[in-house]
Amino acid sequence: MVTKAKETISRWDAADYLKSEADMAAYLEACLNEAPDDGALLTAALGDIARAHGMMQLARDTGLTREGLYKALSKGGNPSLGTVLKVLHALGLKFTPQPAAEPAPQASPPARQPRRAAA
């Protein structure tokens, strides 16, 4: 009888591949490009980046608790904008708004009719 060797599969974790600030910025940008309206994806990406950076150091740099960061940046987390900005700053990243690729066409106002003189 032939016995098969057991295969072990480890869970893939983005945090294992985020080694530099450039990697972190590119990952965050890719997530925002993929789903610009998905706050949960942004939160998850920030969580991955925070774990790659080190939660304890990030807690020190932001002035937030490690537990608070884990909670805010977890799958079900809903961090405030202030928390997101503190985390980005501590990671050496910045929030940079820019126009969307193609702005929506603006509707022109209806043409005005000339006023008639009173009789």
Domain ranges of the chain: 14-90
Gap between the Cα atoms of 71 and 4, Å rounded: 41
Q: Is 3 helix (H, G, I), strand (E, B) or coil?
A: coil
Query: So what's the pLDDT on residue 49?
Result: 95
Task: Please tell me what DSSP assigns to residue 20.
Answer: S
Q: How far apart (Å, rounded) are the C-alpha atoms in residues 84 and 43?
A: 8
Measured distance CA(68)–CA(81) in Å, rounded: 14
Coil, strand or helix at 83: helix
User: pLDDT tens across 4-63, in order?
Assistant: 788 888 888 899 989 998 999 999 999 999 998 999 999 999 999 999 999 999 999 999
Separation between Cα atoms, residue 46 and residue 79, nearest integer Å: 10
Query: For residue 108, what pLDDT band results from cuts at 50, 70 and 90?
Result: low
pLDDT at residue 109, as a whole number: 67
